[in-house]
Amino acid sequence: MRIFISVVSHYDHATIINMGSIKRLAKYDDITVICRDNVPNPILQQACIDYECHYIANNTEQGFAKNNNDNFLYAKESLGLNNDDYFMLLNPDVAIDESNINKFLAALQTPKQFVSMPMFLDVDKRIYDDHLRYYPKLTDFIQSYLYNDRKTMLSPDEIVTPKQPIWVSGALMIINAELFQNIGMLHDKYYLYCEDIDLCLRLKKIGIVPEILDDISAIHCRQRKSKTLFSRYFCWHFHSVLRYQCRRFLNRI
C-alpha cells in the first residue's frame, strides 16, 4: 500500500515551503508527493528537488480538477500507482504534523475506500474548519454569502455520527486509486470549487460515503478568497455553484 499525494500550486510556493507539509510527508517510504506548479516557480522547483518530491510545471494554467487528475495519471503512468494504492488531495495551506502522519499511515493499513479527517483553523485545535459538510441547496450557498450562515457545517459532536450523508472538501481527501479512476476522477469542467461536492455525490450514489478518521487532524490556514465579492475567485465559485446545481437538477449526478 502506497499513498500518492497531489499538491497543486497557484502562486502558492511560499505557503507550500513555509507550511512544511510536503517536506515532512516526503520522508516516508510509503508516501510519494507530486507537486504540480500551475505557474512555474524556480524556488518551488528547487524545494521539491531538495525534499525529493516530484515537481511538474504546467505550460498553461489549469483548474483544480484538471491539475489533480493530471497528477493522478502521472502517478499511474510514470510512478507505478496500483489499484490498491491511495490517491490523496492536499491543499498547499494544509499542515499535517509528524504524530498525525504516523497515525494516518497506521489507519490506512486497513483497506479503505474514501476517507478524510477533521481540520482546525488554529494550532490549539479549538476552531473547526468547515471542510466536512452536509450537502448544500442553492439557498444554502446564497445564505452563506449574504449572512455567513454555516448551517451545513457539522458540529463537533456530529463528526463521528453525522445526521445525514456528508461531503468532504478537496483540501484533504484520500481515495482508493481504483475507485477514483472508476468513478471518473474529478469533473474538470469545474475550474475551481464544487468539483469536490460533485465527486462526493457521485460516490454517494454508488453507496460510498467518506469515513472520518476522527482521532487524526490537520491544520488549515485557509484564505477564503472566494468570499471577496466580484473577485475572480468569487466568479469561479459562483460559476461552479450554478454548474453543480444544474447537474443535480438534470439528474446527471
Domain ranges of the chain: 3-137+151-225
List C-alpha distances in Å: 75 to 69, 152, 178, 241.
10, 34, 12, 30
The set of cell numbers assigned to 222 is 485557509
Summarised one tens digit per residue, pLDDT across range 91-116 is: 999 999 999 999 999 999 999 999 99
Q: Could you give the CA distance from residue 131 to residue 120 in angstroms, rounded to a whole number?
A: 9
Whole-structure pTM value? 0.86
| pLDDT of the residue at 163 | 82
Contact predicate 1/80, CB 8 Å? no
Parallel, antiparallel, or unpaired: how do β-strands 218-220 and 114-116 relate?
Answer: unpaired
- Please report the beta strands in the chain, taking only residues with DSSP state E, as ranges in sequence order: 3-9, 31-37, 54-57, 86-90, 94-95, 114-116, 119-120, 132-134, 166-168, 172-176, 211-212, 218-220
Residues of the chain with pLDDT under 50: 146-147, 226-230
Q: Could you give the CA distance from residue 33 to residue 51 in angstroms, rounded to a whole number?
A: 9
| pLDDT of the residue at 218 | 96
Q: Domain 3-137+151-225 belongs to what architecture?
A: Alpha-Beta Complex (3.90)
| pLDDT of the residue at 140 | 56
Taken as a whole, the chain contains a residue count of: 253
